Structure 1
Amino acid sequence: MTQRQGFNDELQRRLGLLRAQSLFRELRRVDSPQSTHIEIQGRSLLNFSSNDYLGLANDPRLKEAAMRATEKFGAGAGAARLICGSLAPHHELEGALASFKACEAALIFSSGYATAMGVICALLEKDDVMVIDKQVHACIVDAAKLCGAKLRVFAHNDLDDLERILKWADRRNAQNPAARRPHILIATESVFSMDGGHAPLDRIVELKEKYGAWLMVDEAHATGLYGAHRRGLIEDFGVADRVEIQMGTLGKALGVAGGYICGARVLIDYLVNRARTFIFSTAPAPGGSAAATAAIQVVQSHDGDARCRQLWERVGQIAGIRKKVCPTLSSHPAPLESPGASLSPPPSPAGRGGTTPENTKKPHASAIIPVLIGDEAKAVEISRALLAAGIYVPAIRYPTVRRGQAQLRLTLTASHTAEEASRLLATLSNLKSQI
């Protein structure tokens, strides 16, 4: 046996173990744009798995912006930003993000994963403390493990557990001279990617200020959907000026790809100099950056308001039908019946103001609706049954979720019609004996 054959055999052995545990995954080629219907292997499937919440991924305005930028600046940037790859569309996007998020400055990265990795590893050193929610995205988990800081994990949205850890970190840090006192960084998602639940950002901000910690909030699944100006859940809670680091993605509601950080000018200047995933990566394609800028303009327009209203109408419809035809399918982490005052039709962009404190305390809806299955093989079986019925909802399994916590992750978009939502619920109702 050659060394190369031994290598291949070992990988086949490992893949065999994944198959035996119903954890093997493979790519499925999609031969159509992202939409409520996608084409896979010649079949048109009703798609309830996309994060394209506002239906912008195939929007003509974004495509036109991308084509114009590609025609003018080329297909690729050709270099890292600090060499000669910092093109006009990158700067225009960062300006648009900073204005949209009401921050001093912004910085874009090649992906959300690269964003978390670059920022956390740039900010923390070995004596610092990294504190994360148990259900944060893998990019934050991996960055927290690799940054070299002391890592502590608090139970999901458990403020008592968070304060217990902060007390420990505060006592530990107090043993050092003030000039060399380690830092504490808390990281959470605002809307959690797997279950759609929301972090109690107002209370987390109070705790981070009480113990002198920094706070990083990932708004990947909130940007464009929440708040009076659609800036995210940070705006909806009224804590934007109390969060040091706002992280997000361009690949969900904005319909493109990439990640970003918004914050103080000094934060962005620091990351330009210290974030390795920024420094050592070729700059994003100019067409994608131009498309993301166009997406921000749409989000802030009357059309963006209409798309948001359409999305929350679908979420409310799913909740109402679910009660009647399949009440046991899902235990959603946040009440679906009332999207909350801040999610109702907002005023026009010119007349918008901030959210009131009472609004921040009302329940929020989410476009992410989990259907917990548990057993991995059963989740795959139900996903295949949905596929046979013409509905595409992949099974979410370990390592995306914990072992034994496999689920169907349903996502709604502004482009889904009432009839399509009804079809989904009717099909799930027919399968509820399996669930």
Structure 2
Amino acid sequence: MTGTLFSKADKDIEINKNNDCNDLQCEEFEETPLYAAVLTYLGYAILCLFGWLRDFLRQSNIEKKRGAVDPNASLGFVPLYQSYESFYTRNMYTRVRDIFNRPIASVPGAQFELTERMSDDYNWTYRYTGKTISAVNFGSYNYLGFAERTGQCATDAINGLKSYAVSSCGTRSEIGTQRYHIELEQLLANFLGVESSIVFGMGFATNALNLPAIASKGDLILSDEMNHVSLIIGMRISGASYQTFAHNDMNDLEAKLHAAIVHGHPRTNRPWKKIFIVVEGVYSMEGSICRLPQLIELKKKYKAYLYMDEAHSIGAMGKNGRGIVDYFNVDVNDVDILMGTFTKSFGSAGGYIAGRKSLIDHIRIHSHANTYASSMSAPIVQQIISSLRLLSSPEGEKRICQLADNTRYFRRKLVDMGFIVYGNKYSPVVPMLLYLPARVTRFNREMLRRGIAVVTVGFPATKLLEARVRFCLSAAHTRPMLDAALAAIDEVGTDIRLRYSSRHVHRRLKDL
């Protein structure tokens, strides 16, 4: 499979032949079983049917609870929400709102505390009991375990607060640049092996406000269909034309690159000023990894620019924690724009753009995120600086190896038990498919009852037939924590019948 350009269908066939492939790009996306698809559609149909019945009862004044009705609509204003969005909220989402948006009451480490809350009106409102629920955390992006209240990172953050206070009270382009910003940017550039870097206070804005600084009208952006909404918003704001290509499908991408070169702009047929390929390193919903060697080959062949979002891969991938470039051991200069965030592996906040000095100088002048946003606070920056230094030490190497070991162990056990698991076997994001809306809700609640906190995701955040639980592995997870989670998954998966895989034998954990 090495070096091959293939579609999702071809990938399914190849992986089915060799599930133990050692290729760095080996990924698995098993098709939805027919019976699960039928039951999922039926489940949503029943929810809609009862929703319409409840709406009829409300309109007839039999049901007094009015639900999520936009009050501005009756005043003659344009409704804030589409009618189906309000329908979905009051009749489907609210019924299961207790499994979402749970507030936490501690550091989001491997073990944390959830704030206990109760509802007396079927999740319309909540009251807090004052108690907490202790659980193993499989929902936070704390990949390297740096989200700690003790240790070197915490100490450096506290010292930064004492030395520089909370805020600089200014933007980077005015009087908001402190010496710790310069230190972070230099340290980050050295860590990534690039000429220069620039940091921002918000990871989402790093994409949304910097893409418009480098792409504009007359440019073309080719975006992976699974890209994050921050990238999508950035593309829309930029004014550039944009098209999507099938997820990780290099044949589809090359076809669109070829058409863009041959035909140019669809209305004028003039050549595009610039062509950008925009991808993510690790896709947070799919657990898949971009095909960087093939992307570099295509971008060189068609003289395009490559923009890679490493929000979920920087720190978490590669033997040195330097992301997908490190993972594939390719030349960092072959990626034109490196973007990443500090909110995951570094246990902090903010984001960065890295690359050639000419690119970074251009962004410093033209980026709204640099011109108008308040600069990063000292404790936030000191947390990042401390974690970057630790990454280059034996302690950092230990954490990187521990994360990789946890990832392989956890994912392998799930697959061997017969669950459908998406993505690359080295990805710290491990999505397990649940499909039916009722099972999404029950799985979340049953896992918490067993002391395991997980994030479940369904429609409209995913496709209708791809509701899932998304496990986020951390170097802070111990083997007993992983085994406790696997035991709970095994038990709940048996009770509510979640072993959907037709490729792998269905086995209990005790039999492995």
Task: Give the TM-score band, short-chain normalised.
Answer: 0.7 to 0.9
Specify the SS of the correspondent of 1:424: helix
Specify the SS of the correspondent of 1:130: strand
Q: Which residue of structure 2 aligns with residue 171 of structure 1?
A: 262
Q: Which residue of structure 1 aligns with residue 362 of structure 2?
A: 270
Task: Classify 1:387/1:19 alpha carbon distance in 2 versus 1 (closer, same or farther; 3 Å).
Answer: farther
Task: Classify 1:292/1:407 alpha carbon distance in 2 versus 1 (closer, same or farther; 3 Å).
Answer: same
Paired with 2:410 and 2:265, the residues of 1 have a C-alpha distance of: 51
The amino acid across from 1:43 in the alignment is I
Q: Which moved more, 1:153-162 or 1:28-37?
A: 28-37
Asked if the contact 1:317/1:418 (under 8 Å) is kept, the reply is no
Asked if the contact 2:180/2:382 (under 8 Å) is kept, the reply is yes
Asked if the contact 1:394/1:408 (under 8 Å) is kept, the reply is yes
Specify the SS of the correspondent of 1:21: helix
From 470, 476, 493, the counterpart of 1:415: 476
Deviations 1:173-217 (A, max 9, x none): 38999x985111111011111122111100011101111110001
Deviations 1:199-248 (A, max 9, x none): 11000111011111100011112111333432111123213111110000
Within 5 Å, give how 1:205-216 maps onto structure 2.
Answer: 205-216=296-307
Asked if the contact 1:376/1:404 (under 8 Å) is kept, the reply is no
Deviation at 1:84? Answer: 0.8
Q: Which residue of structure 1 aligns with residue 89 of structure 2?
A: 18
Specify the SS of the correspondent of 1:252: coil
Asked if the contact 2:422/2:430 (under 8 Å) is kept, the reply is yes
Q: Which residue of structure 2 aligns with residue 303 of structure 1?
A: 395
From 54, 57, 64, the counterpart of 2:144: 54
Task: Classify 1:10/1:173 alpha carbon distance in 2 versus 1 (closer, same or farther; 3 Å).
Answer: closer
Task: Classify 1:285/1:270 alpha carbon distance in 2 versus 1 (closer, same or farther; 3 Å).
Answer: same
Task: Classify 1:148/1:8 alpha carbon distance in 2 versus 1 (closer, same or farther; 3 Å).
Answer: closer
Q: Which residue of structure 2 aligns with residue 393 of structure 1?
A: 454
Deviation at 1:164? Answer: 0.9
Paired with 2:163 and 2:337, the residues of 1 have a C-alpha distance of: 33
Paired with 1:279 and 1:377, the residues of 2 have a C-alpha distance of: 47
The amino acid across from 1:281 in the alignment is A
From 407, 422, 428, the counterpart of 1:332: 422
Deviation at 1:92? Answer: 1.1
Paired with 1:16 and 1:2, the residues of 2 have a C-alpha distance of: 14
Deviation at 1:80? Answer: 0.8
Paired with 1:270 and 1:318, the residues of 2 have a C-alpha distance of: 43
Q: Which residue of structure 2 aligns with residue 75 of structure 1?
A: 166
Specify the SS of the correspondent of 1:281: coil
Q: TM-score, normalised by structure 2?
A: 0.74
The amino acid across from 2:447 in the alignment is L
From 306, 329, 342, the counterpart of 1:250: 342
Q: Which residue of structure 2 aligns with residue 289 of structure 1?
A: 381
Give unpaired runs (5+ residues) of structure 1: 337-364
1:425 has 2:486 as partner: yes
Task: Classify 1:43/1:176 alpha carbon distance in 2 versus 1 (closer, same or farther; 3 Å).
Answer: closer
Give unpaired runs (5+ residues) of structure 2: 1-69, 117-131, 499-512
Runs of 4+ with >4 A deviation: 1-16, 23-26, 174-177
Asked if the contact 2:261/2:271 (under 8 Å) is kept, the reply is no
Deviation at 1:10? Answer: 6.3
Specify the SS of the correspondent of 1:39: strand
Who wins on radius of gyration, i.e. which is larger? 2
Paired with 2:466 and 2:71, the residues of 1 have a C-alpha distance of: 40
Specify the SS of the correspondent of 1:84: coil
The amino acid across from 2:170 in the alignment is A
Asked if the contact 1:69/1:89 (under 8 Å) is kept, the reply is no
Paired with 1:187 and 1:127, the residues of 2 have a C-alpha distance of: 16
Q: Which residue of structure 2 aligns with residue 27 of structure 1?
A: 101
From 31, 39, 62, the counterpart of 2:113: 39
Asked if the contact 1:106/1:262 (under 8 Å) is kept, the reply is yes
From 429, 432, 442, the counterpart of 1:371: 432
The amino acid across from 1:367 in the alignment is P
Task: Classify 1:273/1:398 alpha carbon distance in 2 versus 1 (closer, same or farther; 3 Å).
Answer: farther
The amino acid across from 2:281 in the alignment is S
Asked if the contact 1:22/1:376 (under 8 Å) is kept, the reply is no
RMSD of aligned Cα (Å):
2.7
Within 5 Å, give how 1:65-214 maps onto structure 2.
Answer: 65-173=156-264, 181-214=272-305
Asked if the contact 2:143/2:403 (under 8 Å) is kept, the reply is yes
Asked if the contact 1:35/1:55 (under 8 Å) is kept, the reply is yes
From 312, 335, 351, the counterpart of 1:259: 351
Task: Classify 1:386/1:267 alpha carbon distance in 2 versus 1 (closer, same or farther; 3 Å).
Answer: same
Deviation at 1:333? Answer: 2.2
Deviations 1:329-354 (A, max 9, x none): 233322x3xxxxxxxxxxxxxxxxxx
Deviation at 1:132? Answer: 0.6
Paired with 1:391 and 1:301, the residues of 2 have a C-alpha distance of: 32
The amino acid across from 1:260 in the alignment is Y
Task: Classify 1:256/1:172 alpha carbon distance in 2 versus 1 (closer, same or farther; 3 Å).
Answer: same
Specify the SS of the correspondent of 1:86: coil
Q: Which residue of structure 2 aligns with residue 314 of structure 1?
A: 406
Specify the SS of the correspondent of 1:215: strand
Q: Percent identity, please.
A: 27
Specify the SS of the correspondent of 2:493: coil
Asked if the contact 2:72/2:79 (under 8 Å) is kept, the reply is no
Asked if the contact 1:47/1:392 (under 8 Å) is kept, the reply is yes
Task: Classify 1:145/1:10 alpha carbon distance in 2 versus 1 (closer, same or farther; 3 Å).
Answer: closer
The amino acid across from 2:92 in the alignment is Q
Q: TM-score, normalised by structure 1?
A: 0.86
Paired with 1:11 and 1:333, the residues of 2 have a C-alpha distance of: 34
Task: Classify 1:292/1:400 alpha carbon distance in 2 versus 1 (closer, same or farther; 3 Å).
Answer: farther
The amino acid across from 2:91 in the alignment is A
